[in-house]
Structure 1
Amino acid sequence: MVSKNVLKRPTGNLSLFAFDKGESLSTHTAPFDATVQVLEGKARIVIGGEGHELVAGETVIMPAGIPHSVEATEKFKMLLTMIKE
């Protein structure tokens, strides 16, 4: 998995992520709401124990403080938008 911060501001961040099939981000929480927009490929995103299969063009909201994880079910790129305010 590789990532790159595209924009970093006091009000939020934009970060690009690229995963090979099978790579993942383990379960964790974040202090702010965030969205994941799938740019390419497919991934399984679990939020609060509920799984979501996402494909290119789909977006999901990850609420602050709720455990979530991301696993690439094939090569996968996403844009993470962290909303601080």
Structure 2
Amino acid sequence: MEHPEVAKGTTFTTSEIVQFDHKKIVVRSIINRPTGNLSIVAIDTGQVMDRKSVPFDTYLQVIEGLARLSIGNQTFIVKNGQSIIIPARIQSTLTATIRLKIFLAIIKTGNENTGVQ
């Protein structure tokens, strides 16, 4: 699914570029390139973002709200201002405990198929 990028050469407030939608997950790309992407995601209370195992690490920062994040068999509570790195090749599930906005950064290294990190 394509998500429109933020216009280059303009200022913006990260937490304001995406708005909540009732019982939905809304994604807005800041940058989306073959080498990686930066996105802001708004997740309504109770909604679940299920991710299959991906071949690269993902940086997640909670901008607003509270999340329950399961990585493999571990569960974390990530709150406003906190960050976590989701390791490559491990399935994760993110649940919005309360309305949630997150910043996601994925940088593709070119080593995804080799297991090198």
Fold match, TM over 0.5? yes
Instruction: Report what 1:59 is aligned to.
Output: 83
Identity across the alignment (%): 39
Which structure 2 residue ranges, 5 or more long, are not aligned? 1-24, 110-117
Q: Cα RMSD over matched residues? A: 1.1
> 1 or 2, which has the higher strand percentage?
1
The CA distance in 2 between the partners of 1:2 and 1:16, in whole Å, is: 8
Between Structure 1 and Structure 2, whose CA radius of gyration is higher?
A: 2
Partner of 1:57, secondary structure, is coil
TM-score (norm 2): 0.69
User: Structure with the greater relative contact order (CA < 8 A, sep ≥ 6): 1 or 2?
Assistant: 1
TM-score (norm 1): 0.93
**Displacement over 4 Å in runs of 4+:** none
Instruction: Report what 1:17 is aligned to.
Output: 41
The one-letter code of the counterpart of 1:61 is I
Between the two proteins, the alignment pairs up a number of residues equal to 85
Instruction: Report what 1:38 is aligned to.
Output: 62
The CA distance in 2 between the partners of 1:26 and 1:36, in whole Å, is: 14
